[in-house]
Amino acid sequence: MTLAMAGGVSVAAQTAASASTSAPAPVRAAADTCSYPYVCLFKNGTRIGQFQDVTSGFQNLPSRPSGPNLVVQNTRNDDVAYIRWSGGTVTCIPPKQSFTVSGGTLTGIRIDSRSTC
């Protein structure tokens, strides 16, 4: 398991200018993306985790991320990714696909060498 706590989903850089004479607000840099061969989790545009290893069982997500504004991105070419919900339901994410979590809590992730769900 590889877990990273930095980066984020690709978003346009944002700028804000101050209407007063004070200095303009800082520019938010374009966020990192999820590169091959990872499955990444993004919350509000910030990467909160990334996983690389094919496993026979689920890897627990101690942070228990939840929607809205949660995206799971599978950059792998031939491997599916499964996410496990707090109620035990499992969702499969095909290779090179993303899944947006609009509600609910994730408790685990598993990368499988199958190429289809």
Number of domains in the chain: 1
In a domain, 28, yes or no: no
In a domain, 53, yes or no: yes
CA dist 29 and 13 (Å) reads 5
- Cis, bond preceding 94 (omega within 30 deg of 0): no
Residue span of the structural domain in which 69 resides: 39-112
Check residue 10 and give its pLDDT.
27
Check residue 32 and give its pLDDT.
62
Short-list 76, 68, 107, CA closest to 90 = 107
Short-list 32, 70, 33, 75, CA closest to 51 = 75
Instruction: Give the model confidence (pLDDT) of 14-60 as tens digits.
Output: 222 323 333 343 333 345 689 999 999 999 999 999 999 999 999 99
Short-list 53, 69, 77, CA closest to 103 = 69
In a domain, 117, yes or no: no
pTM over 0.75: no
